[in-house]
Amino acid sequence: MNPKFRNLYIIIGCLLLISLIVEVIRTYPEVSAKGVLLNALPAILFFYLAYKTYHEKKDSELM
């Protein structure tokens, strides 16, 4: 993973998380677990990619 994309992954993950929160607020009485899960997975994926790029850079500094 290229550490240059870490900030991009964090920004995209935050935007997806904000859109998830807005959608839950918009559909409050009828919030479906399936909809929340399907919208949360991309945000989790981008946060995981940011985490992975951070630790890969950190490990290469030790060697």
Which sequence spans correspond to the domains of the chain? 3-62
* The Cα angle at residue 39 between residues 34 and 43, in degrees rounded to 5: 140
Model's pTM, two decimal places? 0.78
Number of separate helices (H) and strands (E) present in the chain: 2, 0
Distance CA 13, CA 6 (A): 11
Stretches where the chain sits below pLDDT 70 are 1, 55-63
